[in-house]
Structure 1
Amino acid sequence: MRVQRALLLACLAGSIGPAIAQEATTQPELSGVIAIHDPSVIEYGGRFASFATGVENAADSGTPRTKTSPDGTAWRETGALPGGLPGWVETELGYTPKNLWAPSISHHGGTHYLYYSASSFGENDSAIGVMTNKQFDITEPAEGWQDQGMVLRSHDGDDFNAIDPFRIDTDGRSYLAYGSYWDGIRMVELDPESGMLKDGAADPIRLASRDDDAIEAPSLLEHDGRYYLFVSFDACCRGAESTYRIMVGRADEISGPYLDADDTPMLEGGGTEVLASTGRYRGPGGQEIFMNDGEPWLTYHYYDAEDAGTPKLQIAPLRWTEDGWPKLDPLPVSNGT
């Protein structure tokens, strides 16, 4: 979710410019329809669109939901992706998921890709699929998607879970990071054009683990010659009682090893905290990186303790410490109303 400069100018000019983001002293204050879970955002020409986990047992079959914004601060609902569950999902899994989880939008070579998860809570009998869109319209983000089928699969008894996909294109190659609980986060190489697994690709690379403890929602960023792996630790989906927190590690190569600020490997449970529960903002997580005017921003959801624990959207520019670690501005006092 890419938002640009400070909110004062946004009010005056109707858009958020890159300079304001750099001058802001708190994270942007969002308004409108911002109830969301597992957000992914894209921006074009100062306009924004978001994708999120679908609504359980909804008439639309729980397909990913979308929102749009003319400036990155004021958001409105634009509906779920039409067409219901892709046909392969029930056939492959042998059951009907209540919804599709954690969609992740990316762009490569004139095509937009939307990766998504099909699973059941607490199980790793799961799959990741992908849709493509060659005529994406940011004002109508639910339209134009064509399902391309399953990308990868996990089964009961595997030591990984095929959910929470995130694609990164770097150095002429494409990768998909994924994973939740079990043995943690993995990454596999993709064919850049089809978005499917690359023929002859090596076995998946293990990036992070907490020895069966809670870790999920990977997102990768290349910045100043290093790679950063953002993940969520602990528990989501408990409203204001959620304990999610956003963690990060970094590496010199995309394949790792990722270390935290104390040099503890993320494969050994390491991670440097970026954001944890603060005030009304409980359980921040489900994060993704997106680029805004060439600068990295973070989008995530939090559970609003002053609104019955409703999950809501937040976005923020990444700042950097002198020794190259990402951090966030303080949260706004009144956001989430």
Structure 2
Amino acid sequence: MATVVAAALGGCAGDEPAPTFTNPVYASDAPDPQAIRVGEAWFLFHTNTPAANVPVLTSPDLVTWSPAGDALPALGSWAVGGKTWAPEVLAVAADRYVLYYTAASAATGRQCVGRAVARAPAGPYVDDADAPLVCQAALGGSIDASPFRDSDGSLHLLWKNDGNAVGADTWIWSQPLAPSGETLAGAPARLIKQTEAWEGAVVEGPFLWRRPEGLFLFYAANAYDRSSYAEGYAVCDSPAGPCRKAPENPILASAGRASGPGHASMVEKDGRTWLLYHAWPAGQEGAVDPGRQVWLDEVVWTDGRPVVRGPTDGPQALP
């Protein structure tokens, strides 16, 4: 877990020391983190471990995280265990949550996206469908689903076709969701694929974030187990595109003790935005232990564009 200490951050004599934290905020293997806030608690979901299909962590402050069990104890009937990747959760009502997860399809052998429903944020979630929600088997499969609620209340689902599994292009896709969040509606749209040198052969791990300045598509790129893995963004006209990649990409790359940072998600707290992402300890890329740890750094918006203050491996103020 993160180191939390009281440290003076300046100010007048006699001021109470302001608490700080130091990355990583969760030092065990927890790839592809996404968090939601329910009341005063945060719930973080990440890729499977040997003990859980969808591990869930809880925190009161985004910094101190504690394991809270398996959000998805049983997979849908269509799925095979062992590769439950990149789960994300959307609250569709006060007592209804939808979990989107990637798992191996028994019918196709490819990774596909399913959905499961629960009455509480930590689950247990139940997938009662007999087929995946998205499964582009001919395009290598479908992974990394991310739900998005736009400012008009409309729901959308993003994902990536797993083209790198079959030597094909990897596209980020978007499609409207029904108000329940359980079924797709409308037609899918392709947003971006790998085109830039820093991206290598892969773009993945997408999420959308709406700001007064516009609609931002964040994504990870390059080989997940290399120091070249990094995070970038594009600006989109709508959830269906078109999207234009930022010339300053990548905006988060290996530095200090963080190697291969990416597959991020964003949260807002007290008007500030923070990026949750995973990173390997430098020099231990691809190692099972400790694996990909969870890091947290602030995103500031300069001239309407996101700037990540990180990777930061020194003390910083608590969110």
Provide TM-score, normalisation by structure 1.
Answer: 0.75
* 1-structure distance, mates of 2:65, 2:176: 34
Structure 1 vs Structure 2 CA RMSD: 3.0
Residue pair 1:124, 1:154 contacting (<8 A) in 2 also: no
Deviation at 1:165, TM superposition (A): 0.3
SS of 2:135 mapped into structure 1: strand
Query: Does 2:36 match 1:42?
Result: yes
Unaligned runs of 5+ in 1: 1-5, 10-19, 90-95, 263-270
Counterpart residue identity of residue 100, structure 1: T
Unaligned runs of 5+ in 2: 8-17, 164-168
Counterpart residue identity of residue 313, structure 1: V
Counterpart residue identity of residue 226, structure 1: G
Query: Does 2:264 match 1:287?
Result: yes
* 2-structure distance, mates of 1:247, 1:333: 20
* 2-structure distance, mates of 1:109, 1:294: 23
Residue aligning to 2:53: 63
Residue aligning to 2:209: 221
Report 1:238-257 matches (<5 A).
Answer: 238=225, 241-257=226-242
* 2-structure distance, mates of 1:172, 1:331: 33
SS of 1:273 mapped into structure 2: coil
* 2-structure distance, mates of 1:328, 1:28: 16
Bigger helix fraction:
1
- 1:148/1:8 Cα in 2 relative to 1: closer, same or farther (>3 Å)? farther
Residue pair 1:208, 1:258 contacting (<8 A) in 2 also: yes
Deviation at 1:281, TM superposition (A): 0.4
- 1:8/1:225 Cα in 2 relative to 1: closer, same or farther (>3 Å)? same
Residue pair 1:33, 1:75 contacting (<8 A) in 2 also: no
Residue pair 2:257, 2:282 contacting (<8 A) in 1 also: yes
Report 1:183-262 matches (<5 A).
Answer: 183-198=170-185, 201-202=186-187, 204-210=188-194, 213-236=201-224, 238=225, 241-262=226-247
* 2-structure distance, mates of 1:81, 1:154: 25
Residue pair 1:28, 1:316 contacting (<8 A) in 2 also: no
* 2-structure distance, mates of 1:252, 1:28: 37
* 2-structure distance, mates of 1:44, 1:316: 21
Residue aligning to 1:316: 297
Residue pair 2:259, 2:283 contacting (<8 A) in 1 also: no
Residue pair 1:43, 1:49 contacting (<8 A) in 2 also: yes
Tell me how many residue pairs correspond in the alignment.
284
Provide TM-score, normalisation by structure 2.
Answer: 0.78
Report 1:19-98 matches (<5 A).
Answer: 29-31=23-25, 34-55=28-49, 58=50, 60=51, 62-81=52-71, 83-89=73-79, 96-98=80-82
Residue aligning to 1:265: none
Deviation at 1:224, TM superposition (A): 0.8
Query: Does 2:92 match 1:108?
Result: yes
Deviation at 1:242, TM superposition (A): 3.8
Deviation at 1:65, TM superposition (A): 0.8
Q: Which runs of 4+ in 1 moved over 4 A?
A: 6-9, 30-34, 306-309
**Aligned counterpart in structure 2 of residue 154 of structure 1, from 125, 129, 136:** 136
Deviation at 1:290, TM superposition (A): 2.6
**Aligned counterpart in structure 1 of residue 154 of structure 2, from 150, 154, 173:** 173
* 2-structure distance, mates of 1:193, 1:257: 26
Residue pair 2:81, 2:103 contacting (<8 A) in 1 also: yes
Residue pair 1:117, 1:128 contacting (<8 A) in 2 also: yes
**Aligned counterpart in structure 1 of residue 120 of structure 2, from 135, 142, 148:** 135
